[in-house]
Amino acid sequence: MYRKEEQPLPPPEKFELPFEGKLSPNNRWVIMAELIPWDDFEEEYAKLFSAEKGAPAKLFRMALGTLIIKEKLGTSDRETIEQIRENPYLQYFIGLNCYQQEPPLESSMLVHFRKRIDGELINKINKKIVKREIDKSDKEVKKKDCLQEKGEKSRELLEKLLERNT
């Protein structure tokens, strides 16, 4: 069974830590969390589950995030869960709202995550990330071109004003 939680994830500076600190927005896991279009694939992931039978499934962000952590750190399933348990940045990355000392899932869940999140879905996610970053780059280039053009026009106008006043 799959139940999507409609609870919005707080920005990194609002993530609750037991020692009253703040997550750095410059941390690699925070940056990567912002790059991944989690919500765009939540529905596709949810379709893999029964609407009425079975225990509620873990959210897509937790499933994919845990697999990404495992690959990036090169750890075993058990060590991945232990790393997540110890690290507030990893807990934020997988979608938790605040730090918790208990592991958010059992290492055996990774077997199920790997079965459901296949290469085809990973490719779709990668394409979406790349497209979004290219679109963002294109907008920045257009914005810079526009600003440069406006800057040149302003410079020309100022030069004309200078010529008239000298």
Q: How far apart are CA 77 and CA 67, in angstroms?
A: 9
Q: How confident is the model at residue 154, as a pLDDT?
A: 63
| Residue range 121-148, pLDDT digits in tens | 888 988 988 988 888 877 766 666 666 6
3-state secondary structure the chain: CCCCCCCCCCCHHHCECCCCCCCCCCCHHHHHHHHCCHHHHHHHHHCCCCCCCCCCCCCHHHHHHHHHHHHHHCCCHHHHHHHHHHCHHHHHHCCCCECCCCCCCCCCHHHHHHHHCCHHHHHHHHHHHHHHHHHHHHHHHHHHHHHHHHHHHHHHHHHHHHHHHC
Q: How confident is the model at residue 8, as a pLDDT?
A: 72
Q: How confident is the model at residue 137, as a pLDDT?
A: 76
Q: How far apart are CA 46 and CA 49, in angstroms?
A: 6
| Residue range 66-112, pLDDT digits in tens | 999 999 999 999 999 999 999 999 999 999 998 899 999 999 999 99
| Residue range 5-27, pLDDT digits in tens | 666 777 877 777 776 778 889 99
Q: How confident is the model at residue 56, as a pLDDT?
A: 79
CB contact set of 64 (below 8 Å; sequence gap of 6+): 36, 38, 41, 45, 113, 117, 125
Model's pTM, two decimal places? 0.72
**Amino acid symbol at 2:** Y
Q: How confident is the model at residue 6, as a pLDDT?
A: 66
pLDDT for 160 beyond 70 = no
Q: How confident is the model at residue 25, as a pLDDT?
A: 92
pLDDT for 35 beyond 70 = yes
Q: How confident is the model at residue 95, as a pLDDT?
A: 95
Q: How far apart are CA 21 and CA 31, in angstroms?
A: 18
- Which tokens is 145 given? 């071109």
Q: How far apart are CA 104 and CA 116, in angstroms?
A: 19
Q: How far apart are CA 17 and CA 89, in angstroms?
A: 10
